[in-house]
């Protein structure tokens, strides 16, 4: 017996597609610590000759650069906490977007009335994915690269077609 033919697989609330989309960050916590340590050492070594020559305010500017870099990295890591969730069954399509501050918005669509719209560019690939239903258009996968958006679009389109059967 095919698993797709079982009663549980054909139940209206059975999950056909589920994904959690998070922004990509190429630097982890350990790499951040190493980078900040190296930049701090470089700032101390670079400012030392200026301090010895009596131009001590230069060391403060090196410190400001270091503080600005640290703040930029902290903001970057904080923004990486945002995510999108997509869940699809035969009776409902749920899209939830959660910001880095924990503020969330949720959209619920009927899969029978929903289509996936792809906007693609010849050179860069898929630029935007959006669910369109009854005049409402909601983008999905904004944090993904064009290649990842194309892959997500294919999977979502297949799942929507399955829900409509």
The reported pLDDT for the residue numbered 1 is 43
Q: Is the dihedral of CA 89, 94, 97, 102 positive or negative?
A: negative
Are the C-beta atoms of residues 164 and 111 closer than 8 Å to each other? yes
Q: What is the pTM of this model?
A: 0.74
The reported pLDDT for the residue numbered 25 is 81
What angle separates helix 29-52 from helix 57-79, to the nearest 10 degrees? 170
Q: pLDDT tens digits, the chain, 165 residues: what are they?
A: 444 555 555 666 789 999 999 988 888 889 999 999 999 999 999 999 999 999 989 999 999 999 999 999 999 899 889 999 999 999 999 999 999 999 999 999 999 999 999 998 888 889 999 999 998 999 999 989 999 999 999 999 999 999 988
What is the residue whose two structure tokens read 């630097």? Answer: 27
The reported pLDDT for the residue numbered 27 is 87
Are the C-beta atoms of residues 110 and 93 closer than 8 Å to each other? yes
């Amino acid at each position: 017996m095919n698993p797709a033919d079982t009663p549980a697989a054909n139940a209206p609330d059975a999950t056909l597609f589920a994904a959690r989309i998070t922004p990509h960050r190429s630097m982890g916590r350990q790499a951040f610590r190493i980078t900040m340590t190296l930049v701090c050492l470089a700032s101390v070594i670079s400012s030392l000759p200026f301090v010895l020559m009596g131009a001590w305010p230069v060391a403060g500017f090196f410190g400001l650069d270091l503080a600005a870099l640290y703040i930029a990295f902290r903001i970057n890591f904080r923004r990486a906490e945002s995510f999108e969730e997509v869940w699809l069954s035969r009776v409902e399509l749920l899209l939830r977007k959660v910001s880095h501050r924990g503020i969330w918005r949720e959209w619920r669509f009927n899969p029978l009335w929903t289509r996936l719209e792809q906007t693609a560019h010849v050179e860069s690939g898929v630029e935007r994915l959006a669910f369109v239903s009854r005049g409402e258009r909601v983008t999905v996968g904004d944090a993904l690269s064009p290649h990842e958006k194309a892959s997500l679009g294919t999977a979502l389109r297949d799942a929507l077609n399955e829900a409509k059967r």
